[in-house]
Structure 1
Amino acid sequence: MGGFAYQHVQKLTKSFEMVEHTYEVNVELEQILSYLKDAETGQRGYLISKDTLFLEPYYSSREKTNNSFARLKELTKNDKTQQNSLKNLSFLIAENLSIFDKSFKYANKNGTNTADFYALLNNGKNTMDSIRAKISKMIAHQNQLLQVRKKKSNESLTNTPLVIYSVLIITLVILLLTYAKINKDLKNLKKKNIQLEIFKESTNQSEIVSKHGNWTYYINEDKFEYSNNLYRLLGEQPQSFDPTIENFMKFVHPEDAENLQKQVNRMIKEENLPFIYYRIIQKNGNIKHFKAYGKMIVSEDNQKRLLGITSDITEEVKNYKLLEERNLELERNNKELSSFNHVASHDLQEPLRKIQTFISRLDHKEANNLSEKGKLYLERIKIAASRMRLLIDDLLQFSRTNKSEEVLEVTNMNLILENAKQELAETILEKEATITSDAIPEMTVIPFQIQQLFINLIGNSLKYSKQNVKPIIEISYSKINTDDVSKLKKPKYSNYHKLTFVDNGIGFDQEYAEKIFVLFSRLHNKNEYSGTGIGLSICKKIIDNHQGYIFAEGKLNKGATFEVFLPFK
């Protein structure tokens, strides 16, 4: 804005100078005419009086005329019209001065009262008239330029206050905008500073809560910087000693000092620090387990820094040791469980089979010798032995339902379903049950477990069928997207196979829909319906092994529906 105003003032000054220049040209033209008149007057005075005193203005005017003419040539050097006029004027002035010289010589020699002398005077008069006309024309030309330049000067003079005022207004507006921008930036800066303070404090608190400290190794300067909490992890007050490797190594456990020093030397050399583990001893004697990690950062000005984090993992180490102890205990329990399975499958079943064998013989050969109460007791023993055998078989089945024991493979599900129906063929014929199913595509499953799933679900529908009503079991298939089924919580796959088992049995109250999958859970009296409460628990475990879902819906005396969702792989 200042430059613009300066330029306008320069333009105004130049317009004044041009006006002044025009006046100077006119003055010089007038002076040339005046000098020539003086020379003419001096000539006449000398011719009349023959007094050489009159020649003094004649000679001085000639010199002055030459000076003015030279000045005019300089003033009008950029005006071609005036330059051409000056050439003509120079010729006329030279001719006029030549006539003056001839007149002097002729008058001194022949006198002034002759026809030739009067002819010279007449030529001089005509030349002088031409000079006056040429100068008048040149003055007129300058006057025209003067009017134009006066007009421009007046316009510049009129516009100057407006321009300067406008420049001041614009400058003021820019200053106000600048102030507003600076004020806004200051507010943002204050806001950012507050956020940085909050972030810094939250970082400090997070270090305290998570038991870790930060450190920075400035590689170019070969110096360290520790956060306050790193000092606290060492059992010291913040910034209580210089952050150097030597001071830090004083806290390191003697057994770990050599290895840590090697890692630090390697870090300085390779400008990198992978995870390292070591122990430190605080001044109060407490031993802490530390884990450290560093990563290289290169700034725009090529300054290298190694940013590191040191964490107190003492609790993790303790928990890891505790977890190891519990894992060992779990392994022992698993071995004991395996021993139990072996006992249940062999040692327990063998005496149970003998008991059932002797009960069968007693019932066949000695039943007639027993009293009515004896027969009742015998019948109850038979039922208890059968339930015990069924319970042992179901427990063995539940314990063997383990994904790690089987391998997932692409399986013909329709064949698996037929095998399950063959397993239940006797019950199906006995109850005259009708089982219908859709065509099921191949799936990636554990075949044995899925067959057990089908056996348990179909067997459950057969077991809890209505008296004097033929069971009807419908098995349908569909492929679903997880977005369309809200009941699937945190699904791992986007698509699932859906198998639906619908029967017309006695059903159940919906409030027990989740309870029926709990181990040993029964909704009916054992005298009403046989069973151990393990069958559906096995189903749930099989589905969990396949990372799927199983849901049950029921209505009393209207039947039950089981929905099975298996991952689509």
Structure 2
Amino acid sequence: MNKKFHFLDDGGEMGRLMREKDWSLTPLGEPNGWPQSLRITLNIMLNSPFPMFLFWGNTLKSFYNDAYRPILGDDGKHPKILGLNGKEAWSESWSDVEPMLKIVTEKGESIWKENLMVPIFRNGQMEDVYWTFSYSPVKDEAGCVSGVLVIVTDTTEAVLAERRLKESERRFREVANLSPVWIWITDNEINIQYSNRALLEYVGVENESDFTGQVWIDVVHPDDLDIVFKGFGKAVEDESGFTLEYRVKRKETGNYEWFKVLGAPKFEEGKMVGFIGTAMNIDKQKSFSDHLKKEVDIRTRELADSNDKLEAMNKELQSFAYISSHDLQEPLRKIQMFSEVLMENEFDKLSTSGKVKFEKIQSAANRMQSLINDLLSYSRTDTEKRVFEIVDLKDVITDVKNDLGDELNHKHGKITLLKSCKIEVVPFQFRQLMYNLLSNSIKYAKSDVSPEIIIDTAIVKNAKSIDSSLKNKKEYVQITITDNGIGFDEQFAEKIFEVFQRLHSRQEYVGTGIGLAIVKKIVQNHFGVISATGKLNEGSVFVIVMPKAQ
């Protein structure tokens, strides 16, 4: 090829292919013999960023540029159709293409088509491709049509996307019209653009086109219009969703019913263009809510009366505690004192029956003293001020062991602490808790076996698995107290923590039946839990789980 023809110098891949092709084997001959109109058209086409295709001459030889090249895909026509006759190059779609080419070549008229489906062979198979294109005549020096210039865009993706969008919209409308919930779309000015069948039927509008703009103003209760405008206005200002409750007139009855309306902003290309939302009829719930509110008001007043009565009872209980700690104990101490004097000075003068009666008087007085003391301890666990401090369990156990020294020595008992820990507690309550549990284990020891009590501790981090009232994020201490005493039947595991509950007669084991109830209340005051397991004649296990730090 003669390189002096610069009209083929540029054009990327297609310019190179045209330069390298042996045109002497074609009816066009060497490029130095090509007409000026062909050269100019090819030069324009090769340097254009728009996809272009040229049919030239009587046989409509094929030329195209780099921008057109992707339209042909892979494993298809490229590059063999370069220079081929139109009918040969486009045999699969020639019946569609030829009539349009004749309009241009024979009449010299331009034509334009949008989204026209013309199948072609590309990517190894036949494909239905949509095109938007123009066919324009290219005239030679004599003014005759010598070629057809095609400027084309493959719009297949756009066409299919639009079809998918329409199908999606069709399905949306289909589903929306089946929904009993209102579905609506508006613009920024609250002009209705779409409303589903349930909404239209409620307001008595037959056609969707009749319920547009701000027709909704006519069906919203006049007293609620301000709620609507303010709600939507704030949503526009904040660009956020909203929830409103207002009344809407039902066409069928003329009555207003309550609706709960939820809306959210609708954005296109980052700009808010309106709202989409739903509405649900809550008239029955609203009526029920109003009724419930009245009931709650009544119950609240009743509760206030009950609280007043409870406060009065608490004052009475406080008076009882005062009487228990002062007025009741004073005559009780005198009974005990005079009984002791009589027993010491007049015992020998009493008959056998009198001696037994005086011993019963002393025993009953001592039991009453224990009961009063335990009742006071039980009531104080709630009323006394709680000041938490960090204590070492080892120090508390040592202190309690000293207090229980006589009982331990008498029964040859042993208390062993395997592992100590520090824990934040109300010191005097925690000491009473440990005292009650350890003294309980000593009290209920077997008559022929020395009591052995083992105390162990462990850190618990998944406390909720032990009891749902505990928190996994908090660190707990588990204190386990195991003894070898008489134990108890498993069915009484909860009952033993109740006030005045005894599993044995007073003749067998002394006590008031309040000790373990005090223990449970103290554990609750420390936001912990306690449980017990036991087997008859094998012993008991008490497990306390309390926060390591409050």
User: Scaled by the length of structure 2, what TM-score is found?
Assistant: 0.56
Unmatched tracts of structure 2, length 5 or more = 1-26, 28-33, 40-56, 62-82, 98-117, 121-126, 132-155, 185-197, 203-223, 234-243, 267-271
Tell me the residue number matched to 2:227: 216
**Per-residue displacement from partner, 1:220-254 (whole Å, max 9, x unpaired)?**
999xx9634999xxxx984399x9xxxxxxxxxxx
Helix, strand or coil: the match of 1:405? coil
Cα displacement (A) at 1:370: 2.4
Q: Is the CA contact 1:215–1:227 (under 8 Å) kept in the aligned structure 2? A: no
One-letter identity of the residue aligned with 1:451: R
Q: Cα distance, 1:181 vs. partner?
A: 6.6
2:519 to 527, 539, 547: 539
1:426 maps to 2:396: no
Deviation sequence 1:154-202 (CA, Å, 0-9, x none): 535745426756269546999899767744553344335545628999x
Aligned residue in 2 for 1:30: none
Q: 1:229 to 1:475 in 2, by over 3 A?
A: farther
2:470 to 480, 491, 501: 491
How far residue 411 of structure 1 moved from its aligned partner, in angstroms, is 2.0
1:327 CA drift (Å):
1.9
CA 1:399–1:221: 2 relative to 1, 3 Å: closer
- The answer for the alignment partner of 1:274 in structure 2 is none
CA distance in 2, matches of 1:76, 1:411: 108
Task: Tell me if 1:186 matches 2:186.
Answer: no
Correspondent of 1:239 among 239, 245, 256:
256
Query: SS of the residue aligned with 2:485?
Result: coil
Partner of 2:191: none
Q: Find the counterpart in structure 2 of residue 135 from structure 1.
A: none
* Correspondence for 2:115: none
1:162–1:436 Cα change, 3 Å? farther
Question: SS of 1:218's equivalent?
Answer: helix
Partner-residue secondary structure (3-state), 1:217: helix
Do residues 517 (structure 1) and 493 (structure 2) align?
no
Moved more, 468-477 or 320-329: 320-329
Query: What secondary structure, in the 3-state scheme, does the structure 2 residue paired with 1:565 have?
Result: strand
> More relative contact order in 1 or in 2 (CA 8 Å, sep 6+)?
1
* 1:318 CA drift (Å): 3.1
CA distance in structure 1 between the aligned counterparts of 2:455 and 2:231, rounded to whole angstroms: 74
Aligned residue among 402, 426, 442 for 1:462: 442
Q: Does 1:373 align with 2:353?
A: yes
Aligned to 1:326: 306
| Counterpart selection for 1:401 from 381, 385, 409 | 381
Amino acid aligned to 2:469: K
Structure 1 residues 551 and 227, CA, compared in 2 at 3 Å: closer, same or farther? Answer: same
Q: Identify the residue that residue 349 of structure 1 maps to in structure 2.
A: 329
**1:558 deviation in Å?**
1.0
The amino acid that maps onto 1:191 is V
Which residue is 1:360 aligned to? 340
In the aligned structure 2, how far is the partner of 1:486 from the partner of 1:420? 31
Please, which of 143, 162, 166 is the counterpart of residue 119 of structure 2? 166
Query: In structure 1, what is the Cα distance between the partners aligned to 2:388 and 2:427?
Result: 8
Q: For 1:214 and 1:395, locate their aligned partners in 2 and report how far apart those are by CA, in whole Å.
A: 64
Structure 1 residues 509, 198: CA separation in 2 closer, same or farther (over 3 Å shift)?
Answer: farther
- Aligned-partner SS, 2:455: strand
Aligned partner of residue 304 in structure 2, secondary structure: helix
Q: Aligned pair 1:155/2:88, yes or no?
A: yes
- 1:508 correspondence with 2:527: no
1:231-380 correspondence to structure 2 within 5 Å: 238-239=255-256, 300-301=272-273, 312=290, 313-380=293-360
How many pairs does the alignment contain? 363
Q: Which residue of 2 aligns with 1:96?
A: none
Query: CA separation in 2, counterparts of 1:549 and 1:221?
Result: 51
2-structure distance, mates of 1:422, 1:297: 72
Is the 1:228–1:238 Cα contact (8 Å) retained in structure 2?
no
Cα pair 1:214 1:226 within 8 Å, conserved? no
1:296-317 deviation line (CA, Å, top 9, x unaligned)? 99883589xxx9x997443333
Q: Is the 8 A contact 2:92 2:119 kept in 1?
A: no
Native 8 Å contact 2:176 2:183 kept in 1: no
Identity %: 33
- Matched residues in 2 for 1:423 and 1:524: separation? 25
Following the alignment from structure 2 to structure 1, what is the Cα–Cα distance between the partners of residues 548 and 36?
100
Partner of 1:13: none
Q: Given the alignment, which residue of 181, 187, 205 partners 1:197?
A: 181
Unmatched 5+ stretches in structure 1: 1-22, 24-74, 81-144, 205-212, 244-293
Question: What residue in structure 1 maps to residue 192 of structure 2?
Answer: none
Q: 1:443 aligns with which of 419, 423, 430?
A: 423
1:413 to 385, 388, 393: 393
Structure 2 residue identity aligned to 1:525: S
1:566 alignment partner, SS class: strand
Match of 2:101?
Answer: none
Counterparts in 2 of 1:146 and 1:345: CA distance versus 1, 3 Å: closer
Contact 2:477-2:548 within 8 A present in 1 as well:
yes
Using the TM superposition, give the Cα deviation of residue 320 of structure 1 relative to its aligned residue in structure 2, in angstroms. 3.0
For 2:194, the equivalent position in structure 1 comes to: none
Kindly indicate whether the alpha-carbon contact (under 8 Å) linking 2:93 and 2:119 is maintained by their aligned counterparts in 1. no
Deviation at 1:420, TM superposition (A): 1.8
The question of whether the paired residues in 2 share the 8 Å contact of 1:493 and 1:568 is answered with no
Which residue, 246, 259, 266 being the options, matches 1:227? Answer: 246
- Measure the CA separation in 1 of the matches of 2:447 and 2:58: 131
Distance (whole Å) between structure 1 residues aligned to residue 388 and residue 526 of structure 2: 9
- The answer (yes or no) to whether the contact 2:87–2:94 under 8 Å persists in 1 is no
Maintained 8 Å contact 1:506/1:558: yes
1:368–1:196 Cα change, 3 Å: same
Counterpart residue identity of residue 538, structure 2 = K
Matching residue's letter, 2:119:
S
- Return the structure number with greater strand share: 2
Letter in structure 1 aligned against 2:94 = P
Task: Quote the RMSD (CA, aligned, Å).
Answer: 4.5
Q: TM-score, normalised by structure 1?
A: 0.55
Counterpart residue identity of residue 565, structure 1: V
Residue 458 of structure 2: SS of its match in structure 1?
strand
Partners of 2:386 and 2:60 in 1: CA distance: 110
Please give the alpha-carbon distance, in whole angstroms, between the structure 1 residues aligned to 2:345 and 2:383: 47
Amino acid paired to 1:315: E
Alignment correspondent of 1:564: 544
Kept after mapping to 2: 8 A contact 1:391/1:532: yes
| Equivalent residue letter for 1:239 | Y
Structure 1 position 522, deviation (Å):
0.3
Maintained 8 Å contact 1:403/1:545: no
8 A contact 1:475–1:499 mirrored in 2: yes
1-structure distance, mates of 2:225, 2:361: 74
Query: C-alpha separation between the residues in 1 aligned to 2:412 and 2:533?
Result: 24
How many Å separate the matches in 1 of 2:401 and 2:359? Answer: 31
| Cα distance in 2 between the residues matched to 1:474 and 1:157 | 98
Q: Give 1:426's aligned amino acid.
A: D
SS at match of 2:85: helix
Contact kept in structure 2, 1:214 and 1:230, CA below 8 Å:
no
Q: Is the 8 A contact 1:493 1:567 kept in 2?
A: no
Deviations 1:364-389 (A, max 9, x none): 22222222222222222221111111
Residue 422 of structure 1: CA displacement? Answer: 2.2
Q: CA deviation at 1:472?
A: 0.9
Q: Call closer, same or farther: CA 1:473–1:301 in 2, change over 3 Å.
A: same
User: 2-side partners of 1:469 and 1:151: how far apart?
Assistant: 114
